[in-house]
A and B are shown apart, each in its own frame.
Chain A
């Protein structure tokens, strides 16, 4: 094969790969952009491009008390679930990460299993279980259900952070006379903090966005935002939802930027 042919061949490969990659990236971003643009429409439909621009649907959103009520519930449940996930998950991660025993391995698989199992099956199972033990659906049952499906993110990220911790640091600290608690507070915790924070961040987002568990464990008094939005969209295509969606997209981008600054989220997720 001549050099010229070889160059052409290499070029064709690079062009094809780059074009697909760029198209795929556009495919990923464009839906979010479209929602933000359409939320500023002056019309009554989701027509794109919008006939004119206004902020009327944001005013509408300001008065949509049902959506606000659901949003408040979602935030409350996400905060409690994240808090519980961090306390239980970090303790469990400490226990299993440095142990090579079979028990530790089995516990690890158990704690990770909610990520693989269809969450809808767990949602139904949890509903049946709570009705069997006579616990009516409430914010409490939602927090319990969400914690089970969110805690794996905290465990996984904390275990990953602990794996990078040098055991010699702990030994040196002990040799210098520090108690185990002191070593934990002053050496271990600061070093694994970014891992815990990024795990907590993902746990919070996935609780806030949870559908399969909330679907079964909420009722009218404990309405959750994703379910409320879904039911609104099933009925009619409301532009208020576009305004709410664009608020959520912008909030997510802002949170991501903060997380990237503080914990280097992107490097953490790509290993």
Chain B
């Protein structure tokens, strides 16, 4: 397709100048603020007069800050794993269903994606609370005497985050599984491989691009989910977004908050880069077959 270049008189493409307004808006209101954030993080005092790496050294030598970073990254991994284990069968079921059931599944999966995150989180407070469903069912069955404490626990937080972020995992998986040639599974079966073996040896590797894409989105969303972390996690557990917010808003320590943002930003970018490297490998693997 030679006609796809921007040669004069070419009617199939549009002038690159059309991107100018949005490009300018991004330069002023996106790139400049982030550059200023970076600039501020390189100062040792709150008035931003003394240059230095003090804020980064403070973060990286403080066991408390490092523990916050560590538990945030761990939380993301746990939520991503939960989403993958629960989300893959949904995508599998979707590809085997008729079109009516398919629409129903998509609507169910999309619902949390489009409902307000505060509403979704609030629902989990109702479910996990002292007088919530789980406690009242367990109590009426006589299994427990006093209500269990589930809200403000790591387990409760993972369940809530997994539900909130599930669509981000399921949608790319549906796309990826849909692209797998169904003849491959049949071939595997006729060559004598059982369903489980076909799943592990054929389906999982071929859907790897979708798995990687889903994991990237879920992970990035789970570690930045400020509202869910603060409402279901409670004050006992501190994660990077809340840490950043406290330093910026409550303590007005902007340079340190800026440094936390930059460290958090690079942590997220490193994870995304790691996943996309894995994704490229997986795609090569898939193509090779």
Residues of B within 8 A of A180 (CB): 11
CB distance from B34 to the nearest CB of A (A): 5
The complex places the Cα of A147 from the Cα of B132 at a distance, in Å, of 38
How many pairs, one residue from A and one from B, have CB atoms within 8 Å of each other in the complex? 303
Residues of A within 8 A of B148 (CB): none
Residues A21 and B92 in contact, CB atoms below 8 Å apart = yes
Residues of B within 8 A of A148 (CB): 25-26, 29-30
A221 within 8 A of B: no
The complex places the Cα of A252 from the Cα of B127 at a distance, in Å, of 21
B124 within 8 A of A: yes
A174 within 8 A of B: yes
Interface of chain A residues 98 through 137 with chain B (CB within 8 A) = 98-101, 103-104, 107, 110-111, 113-114, 116-122, 124-129, 132
B153 within 8 A of A: no
Residues A230 and B227 in contact, CB atoms below 8 Å apart = yes
Interface of chain B residues 7 through 39 with chain A (CB within 8 A) = 11-19, 21-23, 25-26, 29-34, 36-37
Given contacts A27-B86, A122-B34, A256-B114, contact A270 B224 (CB under 8 A): no
CB distance from A54 to the nearest CB of B (A): 17
B166 within 8 A of A: yes
B238 within 8 A of A: no
Query: Range of interface residues on chain B?
Result: 35 or more
A106, closest chain B residue (CB): B23
Residues of A within 8 A of B90 (CB): 21, 24-25
Q: Which of B49-57, B59-67, B192-200, B280-288 binds A?
A: B192-200
Q: Mark B215-247, 1 if CB is under 8 A from A, else 0.
A: 000001001101100110000000001001100
Given contacts A28-B109, A107-B23, A116-B220, contact A95 B86 (CB under 8 A): no
Residues of B within 8 A of A209 (CB): 116-118
Tell me which of B26, B116, B119, B265 contacts A111 (CB under 8 A).
B26
Given contacts A116-B272, A208-B116, contact A45 B1 (CB under 8 A): no
B251 within 8 A of A: no
Given contacts A34-B123, A91-B19, contact A128 B254 (CB under 8 A): yes
Residues B14 and A98 in contact, CB atoms below 8 Å apart = yes
Interface of chain B residues 67 through 84 with chain A (CB within 8 A) = none
Residues A215 and B245 in contact, CB atoms below 8 Å apart = yes
Tell me which of B111, B114, B227 contacts A226 (CB under 8 A).
B227
What are 7 of the A-B contact pairs (CB < 8 Å)? A24-B87, A94-B18, A95-B18, A110-B23, A116-B268, A128-B254, A211-B226
Q: Report B's interface with A, CB cutoff 8 A.
A: 1, 3-6, 11-19, 21-23, 25-26, 29-34, 36-37, 40, 85-87, 89-90, 92-93, 102-103, 105-112, 114-120, 122-127, 129, 131-133, 136, 162-163, 166, 171, 174-175, 178, 192, 194-196, 199, 220, 223-224, 226-227, 230-231, 241, 244-245, 248-249, 254, 257-258, 261-262, 264-265, 268-269, 272
